Amino acid sequence: MLKLSKKTEYALMAVKFIAKKTDGNSVTAKEISDGYNIPYDLLSKVLQQLTKKKVIKSFQGIKGGYSLSKDPNSVTLIDIIRAVEPNYQITECIKDGSTEKDCTHFNCCMIRDPLAKVQKEIDKLFRSLTIHQIL
């Protein structure tokens, strides 16, 4: 519990790898996969998700690959986590419009609001850490 999934770790490793390549060329999924012993298929999906969320940009075709699409100072940990983990909140019920269908304890729960505050603090922390700072 409270663990980051492998997808998040792979995303961070990939972003760091791409960020370190400064010669202007893009990086292929295979290069990253080989370099870090990350399963190729899994990594591919992570890279695709990062692309969708514009953290990186992709180039298709035989000379394709990935490169950063933003300044490393303007991408934060929360951007990466949200890209690969659509529901990263600490409780099931925190998303807007959640009802008793999301949790059997919804109606009797007295810790929902307090935990929502904790979530806000975690968000704040993750939003304050840029990939330039942490990688």
Partner DNA sequence: GTTTAATAAGACTAATTTAGTCCTATTTCA
Partner DNA sequence: TGAAATAGGACTAAATTAGTCTTATTAAAC
| 13 close to 56: Cβ distance less than 8 angstroms | no
For residue 104 the two structure tokens come to 């059997």
Among residues 77, 6, 79, the alpha carbon closest in space to that of 37 is found at 6
Residues of span 8-47 touching its own copies by CB under 8 A: 8-9, 12-13, 16-17, 35-38
User: Angle 77-114-90 (CA atoms, 0-180°, nearest 5)?
Assistant: 40
State the nearest-atom distance from the C-beta of 61 to its own copies, in Å.
29
State the nearest-atom distance from the C-beta of 53 to its own copies, in Å.
16
Which of ligand SF4, DNA, its own copies, none lies near 90, with the C-beta cut-off 5 to 8 A by kind? its own copies
Whole-angstrom Cα distance, residue 88 to residue 90?
7
> Which residue shows structure tokens 């980051």?
4
Which of its own copies, DNA, ligand SF4, none lies near 73, with the C-beta cut-off 5 to 8 A by kind? none
Q: Determine phi and psi for 27, rounding to 5 degrees.
A: -115, 135
Q: Residue 61 or residue 97: which is nearer to DNA going by CB?
A: 61
Q: Residue 41 or residue 92: which is nearer to ligand SF4 going by CB?
A: 92
| 82 close to 122: Cβ distance less than 8 angstroms | no
| 81 close to 88: Cβ distance less than 8 angstroms | yes
Q: Residue 4 or residue 69: which is nearer to its own copies going by CB?
A: 4
Catalog residues that contact its own copies under the rule CB under 8 A: 1-5, 7-9, 12-13, 16-17, 35-38, 77, 81, 85, 88-92, 104-105, 108-111, 114-115, 117-118, 121-122, 125, 129, 134-135
Contact residues for DNA, defined by CB under 7 A: 1, 3, 5-7, 28-30, 39, 41-42, 44-45, 47-48, 51-52, 58-66
